[in-house]
Structure 1
Amino acid sequence: MAKTNPFTFLQQVRQETAKVSWPTRKETVISTIMVFVMVAFAAIFFFVADLVLQSAVGFIMNGGL
């Protein structure tokens, strides 16, 4: 394993960080909003699926009516 002194390591880190394509503020806001929308859809879907399964199990356990 090659050893690098801390100063060289920090220089390399700064060089690599400069190559990163950082998202703009607008892209970050849009991505955040999309995450919240998808979480809301998932929550609604699983809530409805739970209600349906609960009703089906209740129907089966009560003998049909």
Structure 2
Amino acid sequence: MANPIQFLSQVRSEVGKITWPTRRETVLTTIMVMVMALLTAIFFSLVDWVIGLGIKAMFM
């Protein structure tokens, strides 16, 4: 196991290798996630509604 100073040196070296996304990439990815979440919510709402109609029809 490396001593704490070596460890911190290695951490600093590894952090320097990170490539962070650009602002544009972050915004586009966020928008895509929001759109997919909305589409998923709409889909499951419709499925729930159809199943509810089916259950109501069975008990009437």
TM-score, with length taken from structure 1: 0.85
Question: Which runs of no fewer than 5 residues in structure 1 stay unpaired?
Answer: none
The aligned residue for residue 59 of structure 1 is 57
The aligned residue for residue 9 of structure 2 is 11
TM-score, with length taken from structure 2: 0.91
Mapped partners of 1:6, 1:25: distance in 2: 34
Task: Decide which structure has the larger Cα Rg and report it.
Answer: 1
In the TM superposition, structure 1's runs of 4+ consecutive aligned residues that sit over 6 Å from their partners are none
Provide the secondary structure at the position in 1 that maps to 2:16. helix
Between Structure 1 and Structure 2, how many residues are aligned? 60
* CA RMSD after TM alignment: 0.8
**Percent identity between the two aligned chains:** 47
Matched, 1:35 2:25: no
Q: Tell me the CA shift for residue 26 of structure 1.
A: 0.7
